[in-house]
Amino acid sequence: MRPGPFGLVPRPAAILIPSRPDSMDVLYQLPQQLVNGLTLGGVYALIAIGYTMVYGILFMLNFAHGEIYMIGGFAGWWVLHLLSSGNRLLMNAALVIALMIIGAMAVSGLVGVLSERFAYRPLRRAPRMNVLLSALGVSIFLQNLVLHFQGAKPRFFHVSALIPQDLRVIEVGGVVFSFMRGLVITVCFLLMGILTYVVKRTKMGKAMRATAQDIEAANFMGIDTDRIIVFVFLIGSALGGAAGTLVGMLFTQVDYYVGFQAGIKGFTAAVLGGIGNIFGAMLGGLILGLLEALATSFFPSAYKDVVAFTVLIVVLVFKPSGLMGERIREKV
């Protein structure tokens, strides 16, 4: 007889939650799935913000955003690789983690700005379909660039050096919080908080909102909209890059193909929340992450995406502009 996962810790919800872990009870899985879903949701939210910010201003879908996320993962891997020899870190673990995230944000931000400068800005006045195809091209280009220089094999994050052994997993009442999960959730919400502050309270944020509302009017009012667009690409891509490296640390692998799946999930989260609305993207990401995790408890795990997308369709049927989206007014 093996000891139950609860050990000696008394549980307040003992009446609701069956104590015998031998049963396939959904209630028993629920708290853990919430933790799983929250982690995933935070990451989806970070990716979705990049889609939604660009769409809010330029009305274009930046298909290359998934690859920006993937490049962030690789950048984080390289920082970790360069700052460690074998399984030993060359400096303080907290510093390495911070540098990984900052490095990934910097590299992804740069790639985002460059793609705007060379692939989207020249097409600013072209029909929208052209920009869409250009974005698709950037996506394929970036994916193959990474494939060429980094190879097809996944890169492994040797994360064991980053976290002390006794901090790695904390179990409370049968729910497992790993250190990395905590880190991912914290960083995701911290970054979203900073973004909210920037958008709502700073001059730059005001200019961004003005540009999103009416780009030409903003131009007339003396706002350098080209600069704002660059800034939006910088922030959106940097957040995507942060998500890439966080997922790399959490799931310990990155390869040239991870951007595709992540891009689809981020885009879905953005649409679910109402594309063009930053807070909608955050909400959409969290809901999508939670849905996927919870769906696994009720259905075979391979169908989790089916469940998530079914919910998306149902939401869009009743609220075509997404959960927090506004009806787009036709500009005259």
Partner 1 sequence: MKKTFVAMFTLTAAVLFFIGNAPAGNVKDGISVGNAGAFTGDAAAPCMEIFNSSQIAVDEWNAKGGIQGVKIKHVMGDDAMDPAQASNVAHKFAADKSMYGVIGPPMSHTAQATLKIYGTSDMACITTAASKPELTEQGYNHFFRVNARNDAHGPNCALFIAKELKAEKVAILNEKVAYTENLATQTIKSLKELGVTDILQDTIVGGAKDFSAVMTKVKSYNPDVLFFMATAAPDHAIAVRQMKEFGINAHYFATEGGRDKNDFIEAAEGAAEGAYIYHFSPDIYAIPEAKDYIDKYEEQYGSISGFGPPAYEAMNILLMAIDRAAKDSKITRKEVIEELHRIEDYKGILGFPVTFDEKGDLQGGATYFFKVVDGDFKQVGVMSGM
- Site of interaction with partner 1 (CB under 8 A): 2, 5, 21-25, 28-29, 32-33, 36-37, 39-40, 87, 147, 152-154, 156, 158-160, 168-169, 171, 176, 178, 247, 250-253, 255, 257-258, 261, 292-293, 295-297, 300-305
Q: How far is the CB of 6 from partner 1 (least distance, A)?
A: 11
Closest CA to 256 of 142, 171, 170: 142
Q: How far is the CB of 91 from partner 1 (least distance, A)?
A: 20
Give the three-state DSSP class for 155: strand
For partner 1, which is the closer residue by CB, 239 or 249? 249
For partner 1, which is the closer residue by CB, 5 or 137? 5
d(CA 234, CA 110): 7
Are 60 and 254 within 8 A, CB to CB? Answer: no
Q: How far is the CB of 154 from partner 1 (least distance, A)?
A: 5
Contacts of 267 (CB under 8 A, 6+ apart): 48, 51, 61, 65
E-assigned strands of the chain?
84-85, 88-89, 155-156, 169-172, 175-178, 253-254
Are 259 and 77 within 8 A, CB to CB? Answer: no
Are 124 and 139 within 8 A, CB to CB? Answer: no
Q: How far is the CB of 201 from partner 1 (least distance, A)?
A: 35
For partner 1, which is the closer residue by CB, 104 or 159? 159
For partner 1, which is the closer residue by CB, 306 or 328? 306
Q: How far is the CB of 148 from partner 1 (least distance, A)?
A: 11
Beta-strand relationship, 169-172 and 155-156? unpaired
For partner 1, which is the closer residue by CB, 115 or 143? 143
